[in-house]
Amino acid sequence: MPETTPPMTPAGPQARTPFRVHFSARDLVSVAIFAVIYFVVVFAIAMLGVVSPLVMLLTLPLSVLAGGIPYMLFLTRVRHAGMTTLFGVVLGLLNMMVGHPWQAALVMVAVSLAGELVLGAGRYRSGRAAIWACTVFSGWFIGPWVPFFTNRDEYLRSPAMEGMGEGYTRAFEQVVTGPAVLAMIAVALVCGFLGALLGTRLLRRHFRKAGLA
Amino acid sequence: MRPGRAGTGPTGGAAAGHHGAATAVRTVPRAPGAGPPGLDPRTKIVLVVVCSAAVMGSGGLRFVPAVLVLGTALAVWERSWGRAAGLPLAAAAMWLLGWVVPSWWPHPVTAAMAIACAYLIRFAAAIGVGMHLVATTSPTRLAAGLRAWRVPRPVSVTLAVMLRFFPVVAAESASVLDAMRLRGLVGARALIRHPVRSVERFTVPMIAASLRATEDLSASAILRGLGSPRTPTAMDPPRFGPPDLVLAAAVAVLAAGALWLPGPLA
């Protein structure tokens, strides 16, 4: 299957000024719908893992993967600048309402802006750019862990950790540093890339057939 | 939804319709008049941001009990008994797992659990306050509040529309999950054996159903002037009132208590 060259919908009549930031009512509604769908998909799949910590190891990457499906469908409706950034802003605010740290909202806006640049490089018409934008966007999954890494000492100095002794704390401290952060970012990006490919395949297999893409 | 109170905003009342989703929409208990006189939407937004900053910042565990008390009190105030009971219970469970158990059984597993709980209890505290905002603010009031703050129109309109669509999408995904459960496709075993296929089985029908259900809603919202360049006026403009003053006093007391009393978690 030629999964790397997905033809997006051909450029419509309004294809003249993809770099002008102007939102029609339909654009705003699209962003709102897909932000809610994205949120519910990611949340529902992450919640499936609550049954046991072992399942959680599976469901967290899986929710990154699943997020690619609504996001790729959303990107088929993005025809000009600003929409992905708006998506990141409103989704970041929504996540904050359900307890995500405020640092995560900033991360989400940052990766949305980066995705905007990637899409802009493809003039908002390129399917390949959409896949990379989706990959970049999935970097937001690192956001909820930011306070954990910035306040590392506070977590490691809990009474429970002190009960384990100095050596254990030091070993833990060595694990929860640079390499761990890089590994998490890498896992998020790889899962995001696979999610983008999955989304592209499902677009072709289901949504285009149903007239939704 | 009572159209009389809902104001003139484009995202106000439910879409009149014979659509399947309309039944799901009507059962959502988010009538603006229900419950006690509410807080100004702007107060609730500031409260959520302040609580998130306090809890998630460095030294945040000190503030967790205060924010939990606040979230529970807000749940009691809006008579959401499920949350009023669930929030303290969840926090107590995390306290047991993360503080009590590791203190009399030091073990690598309990130590890791303690770290996880120290992280999750902050989430729980922030969720309690955030859910109050989501559950008690109607899209119209949110839009009016954001407009009063001069928030850029794309952001304020999108947020209000999201609040409006949320129950629809949640209802659709619940019914997809029900259908999957009837066929025995939900569960840890199915998820582990075919993870990607499980995701596909849930996501594709859920997205398709949600898009179809929201199509009518968005058409009606656009018809009622959602995208118009004119600034709408609110029938029920946001005003700071006595409840906001009470809340400010409560927050001041709780913050003082968190700062000067010895914290049980820190």
Enumerate residues 6+ apart whose C-beta is below 8 A from A7: A127
A-B CB pairs within 8 A amount to 197
Of A36, A41, A161, the CB nearest to B111: A161
Nearest to A62 by CA among A194, A179, A202: A194
Q: How far B249 CA lies from chain A's nearest CA (Å)?
A: 22
Within 10 A of B72 (CB to CB), how many other CB atoms are there? Answer: 18
What is the least distance, in Å, from the CA of B235 to any CA of chain A?
22
Cβ contact A32–B165 (<8 Å)? yes
Question: Phi, psi (5° rounding) for residue B131?
Answer: -65, -30
Q: What are the Cα distances from residue B230, in Å, to B6, B147, B164, B226? A: 19, 12, 21, 10
Amino acid at B94: M
Residue A209 pLDDT level (bands cut at 50, 70, 90): confident
Domain ranges (residues) in chain B:
39-137+236-266, 151-235
Q: Which amino acid is at A202?
A: L
What pLDDT, on a 0 to 100 scale, did the predictor assign at position B102?
Answer: 83
To test the contact with chain A by mutation, choose from B123, B211, B216 the residue with the greatest count of A C-beta atoms within 10 A, namely B211
The pLDDT value given to residue B253: 92
As for how many domains chain A has, the answer is 1
Which residues of A fall within a CB distance of 8 Å from B206?
37, 40-41
Q: List, in order, residues 6 or more apart from A190 with CB less than 8 Å away.
A: none
* CB contacts, 8 Å: B157 with chain A: 28
pLDDT (0 to 100) of residue A12: 45
Cα–Cα distances in angstroms (integers) from residue B219 to residues B15, B27, B227, in the given order: 9, 21, 11
A50-54, A140-144, B227-231: which is most confident: A140-144
Reported as type and span, the H/E element at residue B149 is none
Q: Would residue A76 count as lying in a domain? A: yes
Inter-CA distances, B238 with A117, B9, B69, Å: 38, 13, 26
CA-based max dimension of chain A: 68
Q: Residues of chain A with pLDDT > 70: what percent?
A: 85
Q: What's the CA gap between B117 and B76, in Å, rounded?
A: 25
Return the residue of A nearest to B134 by Cα: A97
Tell me which residue of B101, B97, B76, B98 sits closest to B87, measured CA to CA: B76
Query: Least CA distance to B187: which residue of chain A?
Result: A48
Does A3 map to a domain?
A: no
Please indicate, yes or no, if residue A89 is contained in any of the structural domains: yes
pTM to 2 decimals?
0.83
Nearest Cα residue to B131 out of A102, A98, A43, A101: A98
Residue of A nearest to B50 (CA): A102
Q: Please give, rounded to a whole number of angstroms, the shortest distance from the CA of A13 to a CA of chain B.
A: 20
> Is residue A1 assigned to a domain?
no
> What per-residue confidence (pLDDT) applies to B4?
38
Residues 6+ apart with CB under 8 A from B123: A99, A100
Q: Higher model confidence: residue A7 or residue B154?
A: B154
pLDDT of residue B20: 41
Q: Which amino acid is at A78?
A: V
Q: Is the dihedral of CA B37, B42, B43, B44 positive or negative?
A: positive
Give helix then strand counts, H and E, for chain B. 11, 0
Instruction: Indicate yes or no: CB of B56 within 8 angstroms of CB of A33.
Output: no
Given a cut of 70, the residues of chain B with pLDDT beneath it are 1-37, 266
Q: Which domain holds residue A70?
A: 25-207
A61 assigned to some structural domain: yes
Q: List chain A residues with CB under 8 Å of B165.
A: 32-33, 36
Contact A32 B158 (CB under 8 A): yes
Give residue for tokens 């919908």: A9
Instruction: For Cα atoms B103, A158, B113, give the angle at the middle one, nearest 5 degrees.
Output: 65
Q: Which helix (H) or strand (E) holds A65?
A: helix A53-76
Note whether ipTM > 0.90 here: no
* A18: in domain: no
Contact B106 A55 (CB under 8 A): no
